[in-house]
């Protein structure tokens, strides 16, 4: 029996726990938000469990069972099935009514909580408004204090500025008085300086006049010296021109004499050649060359330098001229070779002009002594050629 009572109590404790959990789960969403589908499902399951327990046992919902109640339950006759169904239906309706009353109570609790929350929110907003008003008042008081402090500071600064302005004005007046005194002193100094400058100007003017006179004298002397120097230069220039003219005349005369002498020498050489060639005109050229014997030895540039005493510069100028002369001489001889005795006068004339052209070039390079030695060497070469 004790085990049966203990089992009943355990069942009712479990039911009470489920019911409390259901009530708490229903009340919380009603207060905070709408009921979810999961919560509705849990509520339905809880109801089914309660209905099942009501059908199984007809016991008190709250509190423990006494011994008398347990005895009545054990000794009571079982009710008919129809009465049990009616009683179960009645209990079911009663439970449904109780559940509806509890839901209404939960709704009222929710509304009360919402009202309390709203009143709390309004109280909080009122407190916040009061706090903001207090802060604004404090801020206004602070700004007013700052404004008063700023006005006080501005007044103090204005006073200091005025005092500084008065001090500056006083100092400026003192400076003006000092400047006036300095100006008077300066004017006196300027008057003295002006008198001194006037004296110096007079002395300087006299000195400049004296210097101007000396400068004019020096200028006149310089002009006279320049005229004398110019006259001397003109005289020297005339003498130089006269000397150059005389030198040119002498050079021209010397050249004319040299040319006349060369012409005479050429004529004599031609006469000698004619005399030598007269008996053998009808002989072959080979026989004439055999009778003449060995031709005159040619003179090299080095021998010419040694015999004439040429400088390196003179030798440098003569070398291309002599090479050109030798090449042109060969060309002239080659041009008249094989043309017979009729071309002899033309050959002689061309050779004379050829020799005169290069002699004029040699005259400009050699000095008098070298030219005389050169002519002597040429005469000696001609004699060797005749022999």
Report yes or no on 15 lying in a domain: yes
Going from the C-alpha of 146 to that of each of 84, 152, 311, the distances in angstroms are: 89, 9, 115
Let me know if residue 255 belongs to a domain: no
Position 131 scores a pLDDT of 92
The 10s digit of each residue's pLDDT in 196-237 is 999 998 998 888 888 888 888 888 888 888 888 888 888 888
Looking at the domain assignment, is residue 249 inside a domain? no
The pLDDT value given to residue 385: 62
Backbone angles phi, psi at 340, to 5 degrees: 85, 180
The answer as to whether 267 is a domain residue is: no
Residue 243 lies in a domain: no
Tokens of residue 189, six digits: 């100094």
As a whole number of angstroms, the distance between CA 380 and CA 70 comes to 190
Under DSSP, is residue 367 helix (H, G, I), strand (E, B) or coil? Answer: coil
Coil/strand/helix, residue 297: coil
Final residue belonging to a domain, choices 140, 163, 182:
140
Q: ∠ CA(64), CA(109), CA(122), 5° rounding?
A: 145
Q: Is residue 8 part of a domain?
A: yes
Query: What pLDDT sits at residue 235?
Result: 83
Half-sphere exposure of 371 (CA within 13 A, CB side): 16
Distance CA 84, CA 78 (A): 9
**Final residue of a structural domain among 110, 140, 170:** 140
pLDDT recorded at residue 157:
93
- The residue ranges of the chain whose pLDDT is under 70 are 1-13, 15-82, 265, 269-299, 385-387
Domain count, the chain: 2
Q: How far is CA 239 from CA 110, 228, 236, 244, 250, in A?
A: 150, 16, 5, 8, 16
Residue 315: the pLDDT is 87
Residue numbers of the domain that contains 332 = 298-387
Give the single-character DSSP code of 337: T
Does residue 291 lie within any of the structural domains?
A: no
Q: Does 270 map to a domain? A: no
Q: CA 35, CA 24: separation in Å to the nearest integer?
A: 12
Contact between residue 59 and residue 65 where contact means Cβ atoms under 8 Å apart: yes
What is the distance between the alpha carbons of residues 129 and 134, in angstroms, rounded to a whole number?
8
Judge whether 58 and 78 are in contact, CB under 8 Å: no
Q: Which of 140, 161, 189 is the last residue of a domain?
A: 140
pTM: 0.28
The token duo for 108 is: 């009222």
């Amino acid at each position: 029996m004790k085990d049966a009572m203990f089992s009943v109590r355990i069942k009712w404790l479990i039911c009470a726990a489920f019911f409390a959990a259901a009530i708490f789960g229903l009340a919380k969403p009603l207060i905070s938000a709408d009921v979810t589908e999961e919560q509705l499902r849990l509520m339905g399951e809880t109801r089914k469990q309660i209905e099942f327990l009501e059908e199984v046992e007809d016991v008190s919902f709250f509190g423990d069972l006494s011994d008398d109640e347990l005895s009545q339950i054990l000794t009571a006759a079982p009710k008919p099935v129809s009465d049990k169904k009616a009683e179960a239906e009645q209990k079911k309706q009663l439970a449904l009514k109780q559940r509806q009353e509890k839901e209404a109570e939960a709704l009222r609790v929710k509304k009360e909580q919402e009202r309390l929350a709203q009143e709390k929110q309004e109280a909080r907003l009122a407190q916040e408004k009061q706090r903001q008003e207090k802060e604004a008042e404090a801020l206004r008081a602070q700004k007013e204090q700052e404004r008063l402090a700023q006005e006080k500071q501005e007044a103090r600064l204005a006073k200091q500025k005025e005092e500084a302005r008065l001090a500056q004005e006083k100092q400026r007046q003192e400076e003006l008085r000092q400047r006036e005194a300095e100006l008077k002193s300066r004017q006196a100094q300027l008057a003295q300086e002006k008198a001194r400058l006037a004296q110096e100007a007079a002395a300087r003017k006299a000195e400049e006049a004296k210097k101007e006179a000396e400068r004019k004298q020096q200028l006149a002397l310089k002009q006279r010296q320049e005229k004398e120097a110019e006259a001397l230069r003109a005289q020297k220039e005339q003498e130089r021109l006269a000397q150059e003219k005389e030198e040119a005349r002498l050079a021209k005369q010397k050249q004319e004499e040299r040319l006349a002498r060369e012409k005479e020498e050429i004529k004599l050489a031609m006469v000698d050649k004619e005399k030598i060639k007269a008996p053998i005109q009808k002989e072959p050229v080979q026989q004439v060359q055999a009778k003449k014997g060995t031709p005159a030895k040619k003179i090299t540039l080095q021998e010419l330098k040694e015999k004439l005493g040429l400088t390196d510069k003179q030798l440098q100028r003569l070398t291309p001229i002599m090479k050109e002369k030798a090449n042109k001489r060969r060309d002239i001889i080659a041009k008249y070779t094989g043309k017979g005795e009729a071309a002899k006068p033309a050959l002689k004339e061309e050779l004379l002009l050829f020799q005169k052209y290069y002699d004029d070039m040699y005259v400009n390079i050699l000095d008098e002594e070298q030219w005389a030695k050169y002519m002597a060497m040429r005469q000696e070469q001609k004699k060797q050629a005749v022999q």
